[in-house]
Structure 1
Amino acid sequence: MGNPHAVVIAYPVQGHVIPLMEFSHCLADCGVKITFVNTHSNHSRMMNSLQEKSNKQIQIDLVSLPDGIAEGEDRNLVPEKLYDSIIKTMPGYLEKLITKINKSFKDKITCIIADENMAWAVQVAKKMGIPSAVFWPASASLRALLLHIPKLIEEGIIDANGIPSKHQMIKLSPTMPAMNTAHFAWRCFDGKLQEIIFHGMYSNNQAVKDADWLLCNSFYDIEPSAYASSNLLPVGPMLPGTRPGQPVGHLWPEDSTCLQWLDQQPNCSVVYVAFGSFTVFEQSQFHELALGLELSGHPFLWVVRPDLTKAPDANYPDGFQTRIAARGQMVGWAPQQKVLAHPSIACFLTHCGWNSTMEGLRMGVPFLCWPYFADQFLNQAYISDVWKVGLQLNPDHKGIISRDEIKKKVDELLGDEKIKERSLDLKEKAKISVHEGGSSNKNFKNFVEALKGMS
């Protein structure tokens, strides 16, 4: 008998690659051989972002398959084309890869672990007689919403294409937070794409019923009622970024110089600002954010991706960089988990992506919430309304979050001892869940034992 050998395949965007990469490292630490599959495009970006040189061999095999999109074509520009192309192109290539590995190596593939958004991989596993696990990279509550789609249609809350009959707040259960129908995860897309995403999310949700395990990057304490209907086993919170010299799934090179800058700042003084990999600002909103950070009077570390604004380069307000030079730091991409763990961080101004939410909770950092799209509005509702570990930033009548609103909420958050206490309480609960005897730890160990039992 050989070692268990899993093929892991993530949907090819940053927020999906990161938790599956960390999950892969956790499995590799337990003796599971991992072949991690990226698209050619993401594989190239991830390898380029691996700046830390290490004599340590990378502990997982990184391979890539074509996604069917021509080289040089902007995959973010036409997401529906990428989505369609992946489903048509990748299953055949994945089958060939597994066949090749099984012929060439002693450790044959014993499991396929797929992002739920790559549910077609479960069908490849079924066809090849290989057990499969599905990894859900968002909250259990979002998955519960997808499972409720037939009921939402039946009750007339949405039509067959996911369009709400009216804007209203609904509750899936008495113990879950109210959801705004205008903010359902598929509603953030325009026109035809909204329908494609809606039907894609639901069909993926149905397709994974053939999987042997359903795992997710969360923990019981934070959304207990969502697990009753979602069939998920939480194994989180996953923590990327803690393995020097190993890939953690980042598609931009990290600027680690910001850690030295943080070393020079007082404890609990810095506002950390990062909006993930997709958020894009209009120039006027970008200026307002810059001026709000300046107005706050606090030191700040701001992640300004090369494509954070619609303009080719971030265009700061006149004189801004000179005025804030002594207390502001802008970087293209940060080692976020290390930043959030730094004692100088006071709060996290975030888009409320699920990975960022998990990292903030794990580090006990209070949140300022500025959701951009998809599930981020639901995550924000948990942060500010259920867990009460952060505050929501509210736009004005023009839809702009003003500099004054930013200053006001920074002051309010940093002056609220109750929020700090609740943040530290959830930090402790997150820690317990992944340590020996914790609920996520038990689920993870049971999964590893099942993999080993198959090899």
Structure 2
Amino acid sequence: MATNGHHNHNHQLHHHPRRHVAVCAFPFGTHAAPLLLLVKRLAAAAPDVRFSFLNTTKSNSLLFKAINVSGFPNIVPCSIMPDDHDKGDGGHHHLKAIGVFLQAAPDGVRRGVAEIEAAVGVAVSCLITDAFLWFCGEIADKKGVPWVPLWTASSASLSVHVHTDDLRNKFGTHHNSGTCHEKIADCIPGMSNVRISDLPLGVVFGDLDSPFSKMLHNMGLVLPKASAVVINSFEELLPAITRDLKSKMRCLLNVGPFALTSPPQVESDQFGCLEWMDQHKVGSVAYISFGTVATPSKEEIIALAESLEATGVPFIWSLKDSAKAQLPLSFMKRIESNKTCGMVISWAPQLKLLAHPSMGVFITHCGWNSIMESIVNGVPLICRPILGDQVLNQRLIESVLKFGTGIEGGTITKSGTMKALHQVLSSHEGKQMRSNVKVLKELAEQGIRSGSTSNENFKVLIELVTGPTNGRVVENKKSEW
């Protein structure tokens, strides 16, 4: 195991920290970043506690470049998995790489924990992990220390995984969603608007035996035994779902939104987006970004470009260079000749853009981090979900929280996108979406003020992670793993 070289000099500062917390990341997608942001917040509150951040070499090197921890000598990146587990870009390869990682991870974590204990000379007193790493509950249990998993997505998708057996008992299991497509998942409190077809693959339809589906099922069964489950959200967002989860878990802690509690350091604006935004009318610009893992097909990218051209809506499109080549030549020429109509860039300062008064709508894949960022900035959404819990997120946005819309037919077409742009930017319905999301924005801001739910929950978390081994943890001994 190698700790990243530039942190080694910090070991002297913490020869014998008061406590030693092992943090275990899931190195795919955008999972590791929220975990490190949470750890930064904990490390600031508990400077005498060492946090060993266990992850793959590749994920750690990218992560610690993106998130600056230079002021935190008590956060030490530790690479415990060789790189061959974290290659993977694009759908199938990605799932295969996840399968390989999940197979190696239990032994990797056990070995990693033993090694950092030996290196630091202080036993690990708590395990904070990505919730996907459900086997860490067993590792923590054997050590008699608390297990604190972070769920990086919405409380609704967490609820689906906790209720998987109830859903399977009621609706059976199917290879495709067609047979029970429109049935409502009403056996879960707070889900009266959610259809079976909105659920993630691997719950009641799809390949239920894939390593990923099995992992999620196991996770749903063991999370109620965790010392506390942490969520990047706030209780007031989905209150019925939160109440139900609280009744299932030993301790459920909404400590978000992270976009407010752990804002990123200064985001660079190398392409001059903000200056460009200043030239546009309030609420007029469309921002487009589909996350880091999957992008829509070439046909959809072309259709989106055509709809932007046809409507004349000014836009900033964050698109990987590899996908940029798929854009029509006429579209690129128009941007070059008229800089004010739009920009296509490889990276955008997302939070700053969403906070700009000219921002009118965010066209998104509906990943949870992006949703929380749009809520804290009061921006309505046009949804094009691609994988995982994103379809469920779209349903919540359309039917429960009511601050966005999907695209007709579920994939991007020229006419469907033009319609959605018109709806959000120019119709009465769009005005209503904007006022709905403003209400959520206010709730999010109230949720992090002192004495509020997220703040009080964070205090409970600090006590659990850094405090003496208390009764709550001893009770772990009774749990049957």
Please give the secondary structure, in 1, of the residue aligned with 2:287: strand
Residue deviations 1:63-119, cap 9 Å, x none? 222157368666854344433333332333323332333333366432111111111
Please give the secondary structure, in 1, of the residue aligned with 2:51: strand
Letter in 2 for 1:130: V
Q: Aligned in 2, Cα 1:15/1:193: closer, same or farther, shift over 3 Å?
A: farther
| Residue of structure 2 in register with 1:390 after alignment | 404
Alignment of 1:46-125 (within 5 A): 46-47=63-64, 49=66, 60-66=75-81, 69=84, 77-105=92-120, 108-125=123-140
Letter in 1 for 2:328: P
Contact 1:161 1:195 in 2 (8 A): no
Alignment of 1:340-351 (within 5 A): 340-351=354-365
Q: Aligned in 2, Cα 1:369/1:116: closer, same or farther, shift over 3 Å?
A: same
Alignment of 1:157-236 (within 5 A): 157-159=171-173, 165-170=179-184, 171-173=186-188, 175-187=190-202, 192=207, 195-230=210-245, 231=249, 232-236=252-256
1:433 correspondence with 2:447: yes
Q: Over aligned residue pairs, what C-alpha RMSD do you find?
A: 3.1
Letter in 2 for 1:401: I
Instruction: Name which of structure 1's ranges 357-366 and 70-79 shifts more when overlaid on structure 2.
Output: 70-79
Please give the secondary structure, in 2, of the residue aligned with 1:35: strand
Contact 2:374 2:380 in 1 (8 A): yes
Please give the secondary structure, in 2, of the residue aligned with 1:384: helix
1:366 correspondence with 2:386: no
1:38 correspondence with 2:58: no
Letter in 2 for 1:181: I
Displacement of 1:132 in angstroms is: 1.1
| Residue of structure 2 in register with 1:401 after alignment | 412
Please give the secondary structure, in 2, of the residue aligned with 1:347: strand
Distance (Å, rounded) in 2 between the aligned partners of 1:439 and 1:200: 30
1:237 correspondence with 2:248: no
Distance (Å, rounded) in 1 between the aligned partners of 2:89 and 2:401: 38
Letter in 1 for 2:52: T
Specify which structure has the higher proportion of helix: 2
Please give the secondary structure, in 2, of the residue aligned with 1:437: coil
Q: Aligned in 2, Cα 1:24/1:122: closer, same or farther, shift over 3 Å?
A: same
Identity %: 28
Displacement of 1:55 in angstroms is: 7.3
| Residue of structure 2 in register with 1:338 after alignment | 352
Displacement of 1:25 in angstroms is: 1.6
Contact 1:25 1:59 in 2 (8 A): no
Residue deviations 1:116-148, cap 9 Å, x none? 111122222222332210111111111222222
| Residue of structure 2 in register with 1:319 after alignment | 330
Residue deviations 1:239-288, cap 9 Å, x none? 2883437xx9xxxx985643343344443222111111223322221100
| Residue of structure 1 in register with 2:370 after alignment | 356
Distance (Å, rounded) in 2 between the aligned partners of 1:382 and 1:193: 24
Q: Aligned in 2, Cα 1:33/1:270: closer, same or farther, shift over 3 Å?
A: farther
Contact 2:175 2:205 in 1 (8 A): no
Q: Aligned in 2, Cα 1:113/1:262: closer, same or farther, shift over 3 Å?
A: same
Distance (Å, rounded) in 1 between the aligned partners of 2:449 and 2:176: 40
Contact 2:131 2:150 in 1 (8 A): yes
Contact 2:27 2:55 in 1 (8 A): yes
| Residue of structure 1 in register with 2:433 after alignment | 419
> Of residues 158, 163, 171 in structure 2, which corresponds to 1:143?
158
Letter in 2 for 1:294: E
Which TM-score applies when normalising by structure 2? 0.82
| Residue of structure 2 in register with 1:13 after alignment | 28
Contact 1:285 1:400 in 2 (8 A): yes
> Of residues 297, 313, 318 in structure 2, which corresponds to 1:298?
313
Which TM-score applies when normalising by structure 1? 0.86
Letter in 2 for 1:436: S
Letter in 2 for 1:375: D
| Residue of structure 1 in register with 2:7 after alignment | none
Q: Gapped runs of 5+ residues in structure 1?
A: none
Contact 2:175 2:207 in 1 (8 A): no
Contact 1:67 1:85 in 2 (8 A): no
| Residue of structure 1 in register with 2:8 after alignment | none
| Residue of structure 1 in register with 2:473 after alignment | none
Q: Gapped runs of 5+ residues in structure 2?
A: 1-15, 470-481
Please give the secondary structure, in 2, of the residue aligned with 1:316: coil
Task: For CA contacts below 8 A with separation 6 or more, give which structure has more relative contact order.
Answer: 1
Contact 1:177 1:386 in 2 (8 A): no
Distance (Å, rounded) in 2 between the aligned partners of 1:450 and 1:438: 19
Superposed structure 1 runs of 4+ greater than 6 Å apart = 160-164, 188-191
Letter in 2 for 1:237: P
Contact 1:133 1:215 in 2 (8 A): yes
Displacement of 1:353 in angstroms is: 0.9
